[in-house]
Structure 1
Amino acid sequence: MTSPRLVAKIESEKPTLRLAVLIDADNAQAAVIEGLLAEIARFGEATVKRIYGDFTAPTSASWKKVLHKYSIKPVQQFAYTIGKNATDSTLIIDAMDLLYTRKFDGFCLMTSDSDFTGLAVRIREEGLTVLGFGEQKTPEAFRNACHKFIFTEVLRPALEESELDGNADESKSSKKYKKSSEKDKTEDKKETFPTQFLLTALEQSSDDEGWAELGTFGSYLNKLQPDFDSRLYGYKKLSQLVKAKQDLFVTEERDVAGGTHKALYVRAK
């Protein structure tokens, strides 16, 4: 079941959770670190930031460039034996040590490796929030073990048109190809828009008249599918998605009792 504290944080602008951020350098990309930390800030404060890997290896060069900038503590782990991942063991041991300090409200695990499924489950058993971050290749078992799983593809910085000006032809071609590929992926996602999934979640979260408050609707979406993210379908927020899909939803803003702001309600069309 989704943590009540996590549900409260999804649409909130006041972070309250104390989070430990643990990054598996062997299964994560340095290019998304800025977006990752910005995303984590939506849920709470990253009081511990550690990254695990063999930073003597050439494959870790991209990480070494961002560790100091974002105050991430590197934990060096040499590969003692070929074919054995010592990094995973070190991260898991550290996570358990941090868990038993009782100083944290949740953990952010950045990895695309299913080996951390058991760790996510163990942390949840202690009543703490687990936020997962990984690529779309991340196995379903790990994604579902988290309260909320966010694909790192949506955290990549968008290429600006100005970046294409003044560069070499080869660089232009490469960037344009990347933009085209990203556009194609977005279009693919739109073709597989989860209509039935959204309508099912809306039905489960609605009142007798078929209306659901957006926060309640979002909570049910995450209970049913922790890796659901409106950004995968071209919308920054769930509110933008339901307003845009007028063929599926009807939206209505209502005054909040005792407040000055309005709440968004949604029902199936």
Structure 2
Amino acid sequence: MEKNDKKTSNMANSSNGELKPKGSYVAVNGLNMYCEIYGEGKPLILIHGGGSTIQTSFGAVIPQLAEHRQIIAVELQAHGRTGDRNADLSFEQDADDVAMLVEKLKINKADFFGFSNGATTTLQIAIRHPHIVDRIILGSPLAKRNGVPAQFWDFMNQAKIENMPAQLKEAYKKVSPDANGLQIMHDRDVKRMVNFKDIPDEKIKSIQAPTLIIIGDKDVITPEHALEMHRMISNSQLAIIPGAHGEYIGEITTLKPNYKQTDFVVPMIEKFLDQE
């Protein structure tokens, strides 16, 4: 399996110049996990948000990030093209799945960029698997229940698939062969958030990896929470960018015409990753 996976490291181009990845499935902890690999260079692992696919979270920034690095974008349990293991989701299990994927791809150490739920998974990777982590970028991470307004939890307690953003539903149906998978993904994501428990301070403080925390000034994640995390992670930087949840990377539900946020955010990310 690994030999086939390694072949995905060279990026293909379509006839119109659009970046086309090499897609691959890797056996990971009972899952057939889907990943896409773009470009060459030091690996940067991208971990999408809840209810999302690779493209809905990162489609706007992958072309720029792949100019100087090998981008390995994953889809987690029950999301996108990755199947379901008939078990509840947890951020800890997602972290273990990504860590095994990295091992299967024979990568000793990588940088990680997680968005939203993917940022919480990235926190768990840094806590549970520090030996594979160089630098981490946390886009709108949640570590404590008080990191979002109280009404967020009211919404989660009453969440229905009818209220799921249409762009995310369409994106899932576009890539997944499982007609029933959308409801499964929705219900698993909701249950995980309803049952979310604070990550203990001592575990957050144990993170030694250089860390960049990014949120929007109109994010679901509060500035106070981002600042609290920044203070707990000793080797961290904090950036608060104008815009909503994920708008700073052009996440699909916030993407606007003539989007230019990445003109600033991607160079900032690259500068952080390239620091000695």
TM-score (norm 1): 0.36
Question: Which structure is richer in relative contact order (CA contacts within 8 A, separation 6 or more)?
Answer: 2
The structure having more radius of gyration, on CA atoms, is 1
Q: Under a length normalisation based on structure 2, what TM-score does the superposition of the two structures give?
A: 0.35
